[in-house]
Amino acid sequence: MERTIAEYIEKARKAQEEIKDYTQEQVDKLCYEAAKIIYKNAEPLAKMAVEETGFGSVEDKIGKNTDTPAAFWDYLKDKPSVGIINERPGEGIIEIAHPIGVIACITPATNPTVTPLGNFMHVIKGKNAGIVSAAPRAKNTTGKTVDLIREALTANGAPADLFQMVEDPTLAKSQELMEKADLVIATGSSGLTKAAYSSGTPAYGVGPGNPPVILDSDFDLKEAASITKVAVGSDNGILCDGDNQLLYPKDEEKALTEALEAEGIVVFENKEDIDKLRAVIFKEDGKINPGIIGKDAALIASAAGINIPADTKVIAIKQDGIDGTEVLNKEIMGPVVILKKYETFSEAVKMAVANMEESGGIGHTAGILSHNDDHIREAIEQLPVARVLINQPTPDAWGPSTNSLSPAVSESCGTWGNNVNIEGGNVDYKHMINITTAVTPLDIEVPDAAKMFAD
C-alpha cells in the first residue's frame, strides 16, 4: 500500500526524536558519511542521471558528484549548529540552536544527486529530518541518492528515516508535503517557488537565472574565452547560474571572436543561422523548447540544420541591444551564450540591468571580468543581483572552495526574485535552525535621551 504524506511526516518526526540528544560530533559524522557515500558513487550516479533525464554531461556530473560533497563538508565541518553555538560575554549574549523539524526538499531533474545531497547535509547539520519530493523525470536517480544516504545513516547507527523520498512524486504530493512540513526548500522553476510560498509553510526558494557577464577592455581575451567555455558549457548549460549573455567592448569584437573560436566555441553571426537556432531553442509561444535543455551543442545545431564539430561545448550567438521581445535574451538552459557589444562600460552595466528587467534573471547572479576597480565598483553598485562573480565562472556562485560563498544548492534571489531569504545569500544550514538569544543586563551607562535630543 502506498504510504501517505502524513505517514512520511510521522516517520520523520520519530527519527528526529531519536537523535534529539545527539552531540555536535555525532551530527557532523552523519554529514561526513553522507558526503562520502555520494563521492564514492559519483560515476554510477552521473551515468544514471543522464540516462534517466537526458540532461547534461556524464563527465561534468561526475565532477559535480565529487566536488560538491568535498566542498560542503569542508564548509560544514567546523561550524557549530547544536546546543550553544555562540557566547559573547562582553555583550551578555548566549545563542542556542534548535532544530526546525521536518523539512520538505523539492528537488529538480537538472541536479538529481547534488541537490538532495546538499539539502540533506544542511538539514542534518541542524539536527532536522528531511523528506524529498523529486522531479518525476529524475525520481530513480534521486531515489538512488536518497537510498545511499539512508544506507550511510543506518551504518552509523542513526535512523534511516531522517531522510526519505516520496514514492512516485506528483505535483499534488509535493503540495501536500509542503503544507505539512515545518519548512520548505524549493529548488526549481519560478512556478515551483510560488507554490512553495503559497503552501502556508515557511519556505526558501530561488528564482530563474539569466546571468549577464560584462567583459571589460582590460581583461585578457584568452582567459575570458576559457572562463566562458566553463561557465556556459558545464553540464551542457543546465546550471541556472551559468552565463547567458557576454557583453564585450565593441573594439574587441574581432579579437574576442578569435579567442572564443580558439576555445572551440562556435560563433554565429549570420542572420539566417541565428533564425534557425532561435526556432529550435524557443517555441513559437516564446517558451524554451524542452527538447534542447541540457543537450550537447552539436545536437542543438543539428536540430537547426547546421553542422558543427561533434565535440563543441558551446554555441555563441551575436545579438544587438536589449529587447524584451527577443526570446534569445531569456534564460537558455543549454550550452548557448548570447554575445552583445557595447560602446562604454557604463552602457554595458545599463544593458545588463535592462536585460534582466526585460527578459528575466533579476536577483540571481551576474559576472564581471575586469581588473579596473572603478568599473567593478560601478557595476556591483548597480546590478540588481544577490551574487556578482568577479573574474571567475558564474557557476561558482554555488560556493566552491575557490571563493568564500557558502556551498549551497539553493541560491536565493532576495526580494528581486520574490524570495523569503531577503538578504539574497546562498541557503545553507543557518537557515535551517532556530536560534534562541539569551541576554543578561549590561553594566553600562544608559543614554540620556533629554541630553541626546536637546537640540
Picking from 294, 292, 11, the residue whose alpha carbon sits closest to that of residue 165 is: 11
Instruction: Select which of 31, 105, 240, 413 is catalytic.
Output: 240
Q: Is 413 a catalytic residue?
A: no
Catalytic residues: 240
